[in-house]
Amino acid sequence: MLNQKNLNYIGANNRESILDIELPDNPNAIVLFIHGYKGFKDWGAWNLVQSFFVSNRIGFAKLNLSHNGGTTANPIDFPDTEAFGNNCYSYEVFDVESVISLLHEYVDLINVPLFLIGHSRGGGIALLSGVNKYVKGVITWASVASFEERFPLGKELEEWKKSGVRFIKNGRTKQELPHYFSFYEDFKQNKEKLTISKAALRLKESKKACFHVHGTKDEAVDVNELSRIADWTKGETLIMENANHTFAAKHPWEENTLPEELKTVCSKTLDFLSRNI
């Protein structure tokens, strides 16, 4: 049994960040969990999700993306708004690649299959990262189907370009979080590598196992994005009636059990893993 909390790794732009790794003895597989926008590895019920999988002999790792706004000293919330503002999709893909390489030092990824689970924006990053040779399959929870479609258009885009920064309010922390225009420029410069549909089609071509979950009452990402992703990957799907974006979890999550919706998502994901290990 291995349980490493807040293990350091070097992410994009040489920025240090942290991850957790928990491995049962002789794991059947290992999952790398990728959080979403304005997220972090210890958000809400994610630690209970980790415990669920480990108790079922699935190793579990989860990272703080290097430019999510957290620091190694304060990994919860967003004390480093400058790092947050300089984040870009290329950085997040780099972070996942770095952590996969690190995981290989702890577990034999040739003989222990690795699956990625991405929530929301993290689902898009998981789809982009699924081409890694060690990844056997990709699981998305409430994933976006396109990064490009989430950028502003027209006058709003022009104003962002002119000012160099736009601010998004974090409703929970009440912070005005910056996004520098370099975020958009990075996407345009690396569009080929950062287009989710193209990556998802490659997953289908390479016959990687995929599973996509979405709630019908998702307030952040429309449930119709699931059908687009599944059409590309030809993966399995689960539509959760009346489930919201976080499957009834919230931050902080003070219960010692998973919310029923998220527990169902975990159970159905475990079933998928068991069939594809």
Q: In a structure prediction context, what are the per-residue pLDDT tens digits for the chain, which is 277 residues long?
A: 899 999 999 999 999 999 999 999 999 999 999 999 999 999 999 999 999 999 999 999 999 999 999 999 999 989 999 999 999 999 999 999 999 999 999 999 999 999 999 999 999 999 999 999 999 999 999 999 999 999 999 999 999 999 999 999 998 899 999 999 999 999 999 999 999 999 999 999 999 999 999 999 999 999 999 999 999 999 999 999 999 999 999 999 999 999 999 999 999 999 999 999 9
Which residue segments constitute the domains of the chain, with CATH numbers given?
2-148+194-276 (3.40.50.1820)
SS (H, E, C) the chain: CEEEEEEEEECHHHCEEEEEEEECCCCCEEEEEECCCCCCCCCCCHHHHHHHHHHCCEEEEEECCCCCCCCCCCCCCCCCHHHHHCCCHHHHHHHHHHHHHHHCCCCCCCCCCEEEEEECHHHHHHHHHCCCCCEEEEEEECCCCCCHHHCCCHHHHHHHHHHCEEEEECCCCCCEEEEECHHHHHHHHCHHHHCHHHHHHHHHHCCCEEEEEEECCCCCCCCHHHHHHHHHHCCEEEEECCCCCCCCCCCCCCCCCCCHHHHHHHHHHHHHHHHHC
Prediction pTM value: 0.98
